[in-house]
Chains A and B, each alone.
Chain A
Amino acid sequence: METLKTAGLKKYYGENKNLVKALDGVDLSIKQGEFIAIVGKSGSGKSTLLHMLGGLDRLTDGVVEIDGTDIFKLKDDELTIFRRRKIGFVFQAYNLVPVLNVYENITLPIALDGNKVDKAYVDEIFKTLGIEDKKFKMPNQLSGGQQQRVAIGRALATKPSIILADEPTGNLDSKTSLDVMGLIKVSSHRFNQTVVMITHNEEIAQMADRVIRIEDGKIFGGDICG
């Protein structure tokens, strides 16, 4: 079953002579439960691609479907709610809310949607990510690796259809990177979570079930359909 599908995805910046084709016709198909790495050099268009997949930016042409919903047919405020319910984001800079403690950060997206916290599930997230003893710490009391683990927990909390991770280990040293990646890998397997991650690190990409290579806004390597 396809969780995410794109067809003829294009994103152009500028006009005429200054036209930059950041994405130039990307067709992707990602099945439920897959762990995908998108690899490319800087400037290859991989970040643009992830932003399009998450509906963080409007595209020039093409279709992005998540769970059968064409996300660019939604109005801005609808898209916001869609993202909150269906997509989990993990960014390079963690983006935790500094005035909330770890527990509040992780349960924030659940609270935003006005839902009750599934305590057993959240406890399992804490356990899997090894941050049980950090529940009441503030983000600034944690190391980079620990902060990113909290961000992963936050992404998992709403049981989204897909988790999009943008260089999740970009700010971490190589040892911590492998640890954090390991936790993403183990938790995605455990919670049967679909993950799309972009990285320029080959070693990290090797952990994925499937590697998609992107260059000059086009996919040029790896299996497109698994």
Chain B
Amino acid sequence: MGDEAMSYLNYIFLGIAIISLLYTTWRNIKIKKTLKKIDDMLDLATTCKLSQERFDESMLSKVESKFNRYLLGLASSEINLHQQKKNIEVLVSDISHQIKTPIANISLYSELLIENPSEEYINQIIFQTEKLKFLIQSLVKTSRLENGIIKLIPSNNNINVIIESIIKSTEYKAKDKDKNIKIVYREEGEHMAFFDPKWTEEAIYNIVDNSIKYSRDNGEIRIIVTEYPLFIRIDIIDNGIGISEDEMTKIFKRFYRSERVSAIEGVGIGLYLAREIIQGENGYIKVESQVGKGSTFSIFLPKDYK
């Protein structure tokens, strides 16, 4: 009787042992398979060809998705870094080009001045020096803004004050010589928004200055402020030369200048700086324009701290 029970027990133990052995082997195969999949994923990832092909509710599929996202992020930041490096190269060559011309001119007029003292040459030197000064100032501003040396500190401010100050400081340009441009702004109530006053003034100034530059003689620039529930909108409307559709996004690029305006002085940094500032304040700029009829730049600034 006792022996029989023992042998039963033996069988049971043997059974359990076999089952657990089978189970472990099965687990091992499964784990190996999973590891193999992860290994394959890594292999693919190193060749930058990782694309997920199977999607299901399993843990592995989830890991694969997350891994995929991580690698894509890594790849795109690598591309960004490469792009940034290229941008800097272009920037350096652009800057040297921008600086070369006025310096060459200054040296030319100085030589001429030695040979033949004339007021015209002196004026040319002054003009070219001003151009250089402006260029350097703009560059210093953008680099400080980009490197985070200058922080935009938005606070609740009155936009009217900014606009009036801009109108005052641009008036002499608008009234200049034959240009005779009228700037129209009718203040209607107080408009408060969340922005950094000093830098926002710079941004809006650049846009108004731009409008004056590309307006026709006896033109008109209207500034209109509209309140929305979340944003304040500032429209700067001119009836100048306008911008073609394919140029609309390009005008915000650094050093971009339309071929149509090559006769007008400018370095192509004002709008770039303006957009950087407004975006940094969680606002945005949009443009509407028709060639020959004029442009409307709309600046949107948040009314609430974001």
Contact = CB atoms under 8 A, between A and B. Distances in A.
Interface of A: 1, 32, 67-69, 73-74, 77-79, 81-82, 85-86, 113-115, 127-128, 130, 145, 159, 161, 175-176, 178-179, 182-183, 185-186, 189-190, 203, 206-207, 209-211, 223
Contacts of A86: 65
Interface string B229-260: 11101000000000001101100000000000
B52 interface: yes
B286 interface: yes
B284 A186 contact: yes
B249 A130 contact: no
A167 B300 CA distance: 21
A206 B288 contact: yes
A42 B61 CA distance: 39
B286 A207 contact: yes
Given A68-B50, A82-B55, A128-B282, 18 more contacts: A1-B75, A67-B51, A67-B68, A74-B53, A78-B55, A81-B55, A81-B56, A81-B61, A159-B69, A161-B72, A175-B228, A178-B233, A182-B230, A182-B231, A189-B279, A203-B288, A211-B245, A223-B246
B75 A179 contact: no
Contacts of B3: none
A113 B287 CA distance: 40
Contacts of B62: 113-115
Contacts of A128: 282, 306
29 contacts: A1-B79, A32-B76, A67-B51, A67-B52, A68-B49, A68-B50, A73-B53, A77-B55, A85-B55, A115-B62, A130-B230, A130-B304, A161-B72, A175-B228, A176-B229, A178-B231, A178-B300, A179-B231, A182-B228, A182-B283, A182-B284, A186-B284, A186-B302, A189-B279, A189-B284, A190-B282, A203-B288, A206-B287, A210-B249
B188 interface: no
B66 to A, nearest CB: 9
Contact of A79 (B49, B55, B79): B55
Contacts of B248: 206
Tier of interface size on chain B: 35 or more
A45 B231 CA distance: 33
A185 B275 CA distance: 13
B119 interface: no
Contacts of B229: 145, 175-176, 179
B228 A186 contact: no
A69 B57 CA distance: 18
For B69, B72, B230, B306, which residue has the most chain A Cβ atoms within 10 angstroms? Answer: B230
B54 interface: yes
A175 B286 CA distance: 15
A220 to B, nearest CB: 13
Contacts of A223: 246
Contacts of B69: 159, 161
A179 B49 CA distance: 40
Contact of B282 (A73, A113, A186): A186
Contacts of B233: 178
Contacts of B51: 67-69
B231 A206 contact: no
B35 to A, nearest CB: 22
A60 B8 CA distance: 66
B218 to A, nearest CB: 28
Centre residue among A82, A178, A223 by max chain B CB count within 10 A = A178
A69 B52 contact: yes
A114 B63 CA distance: 12
Contacts of A77: 55-56
A206 B286 contact: yes
A127 B75 CA distance: 29
Contacts of B56: 77-78, 81
Contact of A81 (B57, B76, B288): B57
Contacts of B302: 186
Nearest to B301: A182
Nearest to B49: A68
Nearest to B289: A206
B150 to A, nearest CB: 19
Most B-side CB within 10 Å, residue of A67, A145, A190? A67
A160 B284 CA distance: 23
Nearest to B79: A1
Contacts of B284: 182, 185-186, 189, 207
Nearest to B246: A223
B306 A178 contact: no
Contact of A1 (B53, B76, B288, B306): B76
A79 B300 CA distance: 38
